[in-house]
Amino acid sequence: MRARVAGLLVSAVLSVAAIGLLVQPGLKYGVDFTGGTVVEVQAGTATVEQLRTTLQSHGLDEAAIQEFGADGRFLVRLPVEQGEPGATASQVALLKTAVFAAQPDAEFPRIDMVGPKVSGGFSDATILAVLLAGVGMLAYLWIRFESHFALAATLTIALDITKTIGFFVLAGIEFNLTAVAALLALIGYSVNDKVVVFDRIRENLRRTPGRPMLELLNESISSTLTRTVFTSVTTFLALLPMGIAGGVAVASFALPMLFGIVIGTSSSVFIASPILFYLGQRRAGRGLAQLRPTADEIRRELELIP
CATH code at position 184: 1.20.1640.10
Task: Tell me if residue 103 falls in helix, strand or coil.
Answer: coil
| Cβ 126 vs Cβ 171: under 8 Å | no
| Cβ 148 vs Cβ 276: under 8 Å | yes
Which residue, of 90, 114, 138, is where some domain finishes?
114
- Does residue 302 lie within any of the structural domains? no
Predicted local distance difference test score (pLDDT) of residue 83: 44
- Does residue 31 lie within any of the structural domains? no
Give the C-alpha separation, 301 to 289, whole Å: 15
Least Cα distance to 259 among 195, 169, 135 occurs for 169
The answer to whether residues 69 and 126 belong to one domain is no
Give the C-alpha separation, 93 to 109, whole Å: 14
Which residue, of 94, 114, 134, is where some domain finishes?
114
Predicted local distance difference test score (pLDDT) of residue 167: 93
Tell me how long the chain is. 306
Which residue, of 65, 97, 114, is where some domain finishes?
114
The DSSP output letter for 172 is T
- Does residue 21 lie within any of the structural domains? yes
Give the C-alpha separation, 97 to 66, whole Å: 19
Q: What is the separation, in whole angstroms, between the first and last Cα of the chain?
A: 45
Q: How would residue 71 be classed by pLDDT, with cut points 50, 70 and 90? A: confident
- Tell me the CATH number at 48: 3.30.70.3400
The answer to whether residues 61 and 207 belong to one domain is no
φ/ψ of residue 33, rounded to 5: -110, -25
The answer to whether residues 16 and 91 belong to one domain is no
Outline where DSSP puts E strands in 143-198. 174-175
pTM, rounded to two decimals: 0.77
- Does residue 306 lie within any of the structural domains? no
The answer to whether residues 47 and 11 belong to one domain is no
φ/ψ of residue 112, rounded to 5: -115, 140
Is the pLDDT confidence value at 17 over 90?
yes
Predicted local distance difference test score (pLDDT) of residue 261: 92
Q: What angle do CA 64, 67, 70 make, to 5 degrees?
A: 155
Predicted local distance difference test score (pLDDT) of residue 15: 92
- Does residue 102 lie within any of the structural domains? yes
The answer to whether residues 209 and 64 belong to one domain is no
* CA-to-CA dists, residue 105 to 45, 49, 100, 276, angstroms: 10, 18, 7, 63
What is the distance, to the nearest Å, from the Cα of residue 14 to the centroid of all Cα atoms in its chain?
16
The mean pLDDT of 15-40, rounded to a whole number, is 83
| Cβ 248 vs Cβ 64: under 8 Å | yes
The answer to whether residues 154 and 275 belong to one domain is yes
The answer to whether residues 13 and 67 belong to one domain is no
Number of domains in the chain: 2
The answer to whether residues 88 and 193 belong to one domain is no
Report which residue type is found at 231.
Answer: T
pLDDT digits (tens, 9 = 90+) for 120-170: 566 677 778 778 887 887 888 888 888 888 889 889 988 999 999 999 999
Q: Read out DSSP for 257-294?
A: HHHHHHHHHHHIIIIIHHHHHHHHHHHHHTT--SSPPP
The answer to whether residues 201 and 279 belong to one domain is yes
| Cα maximum dimension of the chain | 93
The answer to whether residues 10 and 66 belong to one domain is no
* CA-to-CA dists, residue 246 to 65, 77, 100, 177, 209, angstroms: 12, 17, 25, 17, 50
pLDDT digits (tens, 9 = 90+) for 201-249: 988 888 888 888 888 888 888 888 888 889 899 999 999 998 888 776 6
Write out the residue range of the structural domain in which residue 145 sits: 4-26+119-295
The answer to whether residues 42 and 125 belong to one domain is no
Looking at mean pLDDT, say which of 6-15, 22-31, 95-104 comes out highest: 6-15
Predicted local distance difference test score (pLDDT) of residue 109: 83
Q: What angle do CA 22, 129, 233 make, to 5 degrees?
A: 75
- Does residue 183 lie within any of the structural domains? yes
- Does residue 268 lie within any of the structural domains? yes
- Does residue 219 lie within any of the structural domains? yes
The mean pLDDT of 245-265, rounded to a whole number, is 85
Report which residue type is found at 260.
Answer: G
Predicted local distance difference test score (pLDDT) of residue 236: 92
The answer to whether residues 90 and 124 belong to one domain is no
Average of per-residue pLDDT values in the chain: 82
pLDDT digits (tens, 9 = 90+) for 182-197: 888 888 888 888 888 8
Give the C-alpha separation, 202 to 292, whole Å: 10
How many Cα atoms are found within 13 Å in the side-chain-facing hemisphere of 232?
25
